[in-house]
Structures are given as C-alpha cells and as structure tokens.
Chains A and B, each alone.
Chain A
C-alpha cells in the first residue's frame, strides 16, 4: 500500500461517558429498571392452568409446540398472532420514529439498556470519566489489574444472568434452574447461556456504541422514517453560536456591553442582535435591507464550550455538529447542558428536543410550535390508526377463537369406495384439537345432505375422547346409500361439526364428498 492512500480501518476512539443527572437520566433509570425487571423476572411468574398444563406464566414450549402467555395459549396453527404482533411492533416503530425520532434506540433498545448498566458498573468500580481516562492511560500495575478484573467479573456475572434468564423462557424456570445448578440440564441450555453470555459481555462491555454504528441497520432505516416535524435531540445553534469561553468570551461580552450602553445613550447604532430565545421576539424587529444583516455584530452565544454534552455522550459524538447517524437520542446531553445553563443563569434548552421545521421561526426569535402539534400529524395519526386496527383485530380474534377446533383432510387415495350394497363411502382424516386442561368428549356430525351417514374408525359411537391439550387424529367415514344425490353426483358439499359435549361449544369445517361421477 502506498503512503498516499488513507487506511480503510480506523481504530476505535474509547468513550468515557461522564455521570449526569437530570430529567432524562431519571427517566432512563426508571425505564432501565422496569425493562430489566421484566426480562429477568418474567419466567418466574406462575400461572395456574390446571393439572395437565404448565404453571409458568410466560413459556415458549418448543418441544410441545405451545406458547403460553398468561391466560392465552397459542398453538402452532395460530402463529398468525405472532405475525400480527410483529406487524404491530413494526408499525409501532414507524409511529414512534416519525413522532419522536430514534426514541427506541435511546431508551428501550436492549443494546442501550445493557450498555447503560455496564457503564454504571464501570463507574462504580473505576470512578467517573476523569478517573477512567487516567486508568485507561495508566501503565499496568496491581491497582489497574484489580479494578479491571473486578469490572470484568461483575460484567460477566450480569452477562451470565442475562443469558441464563433467556433459557428460562423455554422451560419450567425453577426446574431448569435446579438442573443448571446440579449440572444435569440439557447441553443446549448451557450452550445457549454461553453464547448469550458472550454476546452480552462483548456487546454491552466491549463494543457498545460500535454495535449501533457498524452492526445495526436501524440508524440508516430510522433516518429515512423521520421528517422535519419529528422531535429529535438537537442543538439550538442560533442561540449557542458563536460559542466562546475564557478570555475571548469575556472580551466579547465586554464589547457587547459597551456597544449596547453607547446605543442606549443615543450614540451609535444598535449594533448587536439579541439572542433568539424561543418566544423572545425582538422588541423592535430591525428593518434591514437585503445583505445589511451581516453588518450586525454578534455577541457570544449561550454555548460556553464546556464540552459537558460531549463528555456525557455514550456514543462519543458532539451534538453541536447537528444531526448525526451515530446519535441514539438518549437525551443525556440535554440533561448535561441544562445543568450548565442553570449554573450560568441562562434559560434551559440550548440542547433540547426540537423539530427541524421550527428552526426558521426560532432563528427569528419566535416560539416553536407546541409539542402536540408536532406529534399529532396526519402521518402519526395514520400509523396509530393502522396500529390500533391490527391490535383490535387480534384482540377480537383472540376472543372469538374456539377452545376446540378441527381440520378435515379428505383421503384421496382412492377418492371414494363402493361398498357391496352399492353405497358410496368417503374417508376423511379429521384432527380434533382440545385446548382444555382436561380430556373432553367430542361428538362429530356431518351435515349438508340428509343421506350422509357418519361413522368413526375403531368405534361404534360418534363420540371420541380427545386427551387434554392435544390433537387427536381420527379417521372418519361418511357413507351415502346408492341412488342418493351425493352418491351419484360428482362433488357435494359437506360440513363437519364438532361439539364439546361438556359445554356445548361447537366448531365446523367444510369439505367435499366425492360421488361416483368423481372418477
């Protein structure tokens, strides 16, 4: 490689986010606690479903092909519920992204939540930003080794708990926990825990923001779903610039003060524009000819260039550079900046949730549109309507779905059988589902023509007992005497009804009956 070309690989710049407190940090602590609590504790919730069914509130029983969620039990043929949930998740993401930008990334994405937790541990053990930078640059000695080993050990424990909690969703949690401890669990459980421990440790501890920047497709996709009305974390450059600190700032402030006093005494023009705070329209808007504006001097902006917003950023970026793909809108820079603004006696909100469509107005010192006007737009309302529609449809489907069910598969080899008296017989493989926790007697009947006579293979009754929480395959014969319509015609309609004799619940399936012409 020649010297002139730049390398395609750039090494990671380590990020040491500083501790910050404020409204959004508090909100994020709460969200972290709730989401992690849900994740770690859900498998331990119990739910009584009767003697033949598992008593775990949320259980994905892969071997038994059942999904239990509180009072809801999903069978494989009802997988459309999962599809519906995925569609709702997708639409929900559209809705939140168009209204609030990358709010998912900043608050609830597992990568963000676990990284936050890992940084919290790091801060407890190694200290805040400056201490961590010192430690990072320090030579390896006993002190550094001790801190690093402690940190990695705690991370590893969290990672193992994370991987461990995952497998509890797939088996009875207390039983599996005991098996794991006594080393009698299935190897798949250990392997799953090992893999998830490794990914949690690496993603949350070592890779962090790189996962969002290089691995995750959302930053690209979500950028495409935002529009100028979307509320997102931004820097009010028109208020903050030109940023200045130290002697330069003091000089600029003094120059502004002198000029303003001069102007007040009637000498000289009002050479300084006032800072365009939201809602602080200039008392007397300047009537300026085109191009004249540039002759106005500008005092120092509100940004004192303290780097607080950069120091707290878990992504290691500078929000003052504008919208960036790396920004996950975690809003910690808002907290950091508000803290500083309060100290120097300026209004909050130099960095804030703002919509780009308000920029022109705010630059002129106008008030931004109220938040609800940004959020309630045709686009977000449309997403909400779609989302709710699917949600209602699924709830409706959930309530009307029967606890018993059947499928009917006509046997096609052969399509019909002629009996010795000339009757025509069709055979059907009927699968009867009993979703109850106890066995139920089901009665099968055939409707559609008075000539249909039903009989069940291996039984002299029309009733069959289906075991609890199972599907039973029953071969069913329907016979029609010679001369009757279905026997002599090509294909006739037939409807199978199944009735749960304990509570009268019914379900049906349509099929066809092949007559002699069907050859």
Chain B
C-alpha cells in the first residue's frame, strides 16, 4: 500500500494500490450512475413490498397491493364467460337435435366441447377420439348405447356402470364358471364367424346363453349396451385369446357420470362435439 497521490497525467487520485510499481487510478462511478443505482435498490425494495415476492415457509408474501396472477386469470375467465353468456344460455336451453351444423351455436359448442374433451375424455378415448382397447372409438359409426345426439348426451351426463342410479347399466356374466373350456372354444369360433356363424355346438350355445342380449345373429342390443358381434369392430379384440378371455371372465367397462362434474353447458357441448366427429347418427 503506497500513498494516495495525485496522478499528474490524468488529474485523478490513485487508489493507493501498488503492484510492482503499477498503480491503480481511482476513477469513481459517475454521480448520475450511482444515484440511478440507489434508486433501483429503493425501487426493488418497494416492489417486493407491493407485489408478491419473498418466499416463506408455505407460499410467499402476498404484497400490499393484493395482486395475483390467479385473480387475473379468474377475472379473464369471468370476462370470457360474460362474452359468451348469450350462447351458453342458448346452448343450455336448446333442443340438441335441432342445433344446425354451421350455425354460430354449433361452432361455439363444438369448440367448447373440443376443449372439454381434450381435458376430460382424452385420457381414455384418446386426443383424436380414436379410443383404445376397452375404450370405444368415437369416430366410427358403431355405438354401444346409441349414437344420436340425445343418446350421447345421456351417456356423457350419467355415464356407464357407475355408482349413480341413472347410469346406463348392464352386466355380462362370466361364462367361465358355467361353460367348459371346450364349449367356450366352440362359442368363440361361432362368434368370430357371425353374422353367419359357425353353426354346430357353438350356435346352440350362443342361442342359449348369448342371444338374449346380443341377438340371434349377434346384432347386439343398444338398450343393454350389448355390442354388435357381427360387424368389423371389436371393443376388446376379436382374436381367439381375447374372445376366450371376454367370454370366460366378462367385461365391465365403466364411464363416470360427467353430469356430476361438468356444467350442463359443458355436457351439452362435449356431446355435440363427439356427435360431430363423423359417427354421429
């Protein structure tokens, strides 16, 4: 440490640091810069008091202005709802079957229904509504419980085989307890060949055990959600192993009653959306 001295070349004082004779000039920050810096510190402190900032054990300080992003979103949603209030009212009051495709109401409902579908339904039925094993494809023209707009709306609102009293309900027995494996094999062969059928033992077994719900030609019965066994579409699969499994242990596909979780408008919107996917009747 040497003496702080006035450097003649520059007219500034040195800091007093000297390394091997090399000295350092003391060039202070400009005043305006310093004051701006202090101002930003004060601003920063004031900002953290006014707005949510400091992390605490659970959550953060709320800030004296009471500002929150959640509240903003809630406001936006309220505003959005208000903008569409007329359409929502129309949707809730409408006769679903008479909503014209291409009308404003239909466009609004399918857009809203699409959003509901992606949030609530896509987990089982797929984001493109193509379904999966055990979860019906909603794009095709094969409907277990009916494909008119009112059928779909009822299914969405009340669900299938759930705990609610209005749910669509049916139960296939597990024939593994009743039939021998040989009989089941014959039945599988017959079912795979429907609507003509393989005849013989399989046909007899089918007429005795299955036709009550599935129909004599396996054409199915929508009131009971009994699938058409003669068409090209299998919900669980049409190969030997899967059919054997289905007949022996039965299936019990469940769908929640969305009427309990969604608003009436959402139920109607998602029904119109599903109906518009190409399979609606």
Interface residues of A (CB under 8 A from B): 2, 411, 413-414, 417-422, 425, 427, 457-459, 475, 477, 482
Contacts and interface: CB of A to CB of B under 8 A. Distances in A.
B123 interface: no
A457 B130 contact: no
A458 B137 contact: no
A225 to B, nearest CB: 45
Contacts of B102: 458
Task: Give 7 closest A-B pairs by Cβ, nearest first.
Answer: A458-B101, A413-B128, A422-B232, A420-B231, A414-B130, A420-B142, A417-B139
A106 B127 CA distance: 62
A417 B101 contact: no
B16 interface: no
Contact of A413 (B130, B140, B232): B130
- Name B's interface SS: loop
A419 B140 contact: yes
Given A413-B130, A425-B278, A427-B278, A419 B141 contact: yes
A419 B128 CA distance: 16
A427 B106 CA distance: 20
10 contacts: A411-B128, A417-B130, A417-B140, A419-B232, A419-B233, A420-B231, A427-B278, A457-B101, A458-B102, A458-B106
Contacts of B141: 419-420
Contacts of B139: 414, 417, 425, 427
Contacts of A417: 130, 137, 139-140, 278
Nearest to A465: B102
A421 B278 CA distance: 15
A418 B140 contact: yes
B228 interface: yes
Interface string B258-281: 000000000000000000101000
Interface in B131-148: 137, 139-142
B228 to A, nearest CB: 7
Contacts of A457: 101, 276, 278
Given A417-B137, A417-B140, A458 B130 contact: no
Contact of B128 (A414, A421, A425, A475): A414
B102 to A, nearest CB: 6
A350 to B, nearest CB: 53
A413 B131 CA distance: 11
Nearest to B130: A414
Contact of B232 (A411, A459, A477, A482): A482
Given A411-B128, A421-B231, 4 more contacts: A413-B128, A413-B130, A417-B278, A458-B101
A254 to B, nearest CB: 60
Interface in B76-113: 101-102, 106
A413 B137 CA distance: 12
Nearest to B102: A458
Given A420-B232, A477-B278, A459 B140 contact: no
A419 B130 contact: no
A421 B232 contact: yes
B129 to A, nearest CB: 8
B13 to A, nearest CB: 18
B162 to A, nearest CB: 26
Given A457-B276, A458-B276, A420 B128 contact: no
A414 to B, nearest CB: 4
A342 to B, nearest CB: 60
A349 to B, nearest CB: 58
A479 to B, nearest CB: 10
A76 B67 CA distance: 41
Contacts of A458: 101-102, 106, 276
Nearest to B106: A458
A458 B102 CA distance: 7
A420 B228 CA distance: 9
A139 to B, nearest CB: 33
Contacts of B137: 417
A422 B233 CA distance: 8
A417 B140 CA distance: 6
Contacts of A427: 139, 278
Contacts of A2: 9
A421 B140 CA distance: 10
A299 to B, nearest CB: 56
